[in-house]
Amino acid sequence: MDTLSGWVELSGFPKFTTTMIPFLLGVVLALHDGYAIDLPVLAVSSLAVFLLTDFCFVLNACSVYADLKQKGIEFHVGGASSFHSTAVSGRFNALENGKISVQQAVKGAYLCVLAALPLSVLLWLPLNTGPLTMPLGLSGMIIAYSYSRGPRLSYHGMGEIGLTVGVAWLTVFSGYYLQTHQVSLLPTVVALPWMIDAFKLKLTRELPDFECDNMIKRKNLAIRLGKERTARLYLPLTLCSWASFFLLLWLDVPCYKLLLLGFPVFYTSKSLIFMHRGDWKTRTGLRAVTKNAFTGMILIPVALILIFLL
């Protein structure tokens, strides 16, 4: 039971909203386009997305933990290390207190991807979801693996792009394609503000992890740009995300429905104010920035789902 509870703790299931909600958005866009929802396809594909998300998150956590331990970093169960870092503040308690070992967690992660593979085959052949089903599934597996293993995209300044493609675009496009079996610009256009905001949040969350990532030679974009330049990108990326909302008018979405976007804009505005006045330079301030930024980001696909359902 300790191993199972350790796995659940390490997985961080609340973060699964970043893949499951956008995937549902793709399904809703298919419904909006006049396609009937195929419930067996929805059930099987949702499980596959869940497993790939778990694979990516657990594998990444194990990679960072192993690298930090190799550097001799000490952890405190229930607390944080000496680093000003979201990555080490209680994130590795399950590994540190012995509930689950790195080897067990990595093995479980690979079992997740092995379980997702036959689900992709099931979607492709018996459920007949189209020729792109396997390429889309394999792309998700490769991106999830490559983020922290193999090419280690997150260690070479490409992790942000990998996350934007895999989490922000692929999920929405796949949700749409598996229901319609058709390629369309609709999911990409609708997902654009979500994609920009996901990229922005990834950069922002690298600020508290700056010293931690630098210690393990994780040369992500924040490390390459520096803290000041990374913080200055927050405003233009936010404006680009907001501006892309107006593409919905091109899709003949009534203006009054755009009012639903006020919810993500509210929380994003709060984080923008905190960033502008320099709160990101303190631990408490940066926590407020990332909390509001995450809330604003995840509310984007939620608002879009409501817009296309109503």
Q: What is the pLDDT of residue 97?
A: 84
Q: What is the pLDDT of residue 182?
A: 96
Burial class (CB in 10 A: 0-12, 13-18, 19+), 209: buried
> In this structure, what token pair is assigned to residue 157?
């300044």
Nearest-5° Cα angle at 21, 18 to 27: 140
Please, what CATH class does the domain formed by 2-309 belong to?
A: mainly alpha
Contact 143, 170 (CB under 8 A): yes
Q: What is the pLDDT of residue 81?
A: 46
Burial class (CB in 10 A: 0-12, 13-18, 19+), 22: buried
pTM above 0.75, yes or no: yes
> In this structure, what token pair is assigned to residue 22?
């956008």
Q: What is the pLDDT of residue 75?
A: 65
Tell me the mean pLDDT per 10 residues along the chain, length 310.
85 91 98 97 98 94 88 62 48 84 95 96 96 96 94 92 93 98 97 97 91 88 95 97 95 94 97 95 92 96 96
- Parse the chain into domains and list their residue ranges: 2-309
Q: What is the pLDDT of residue 213?
A: 87
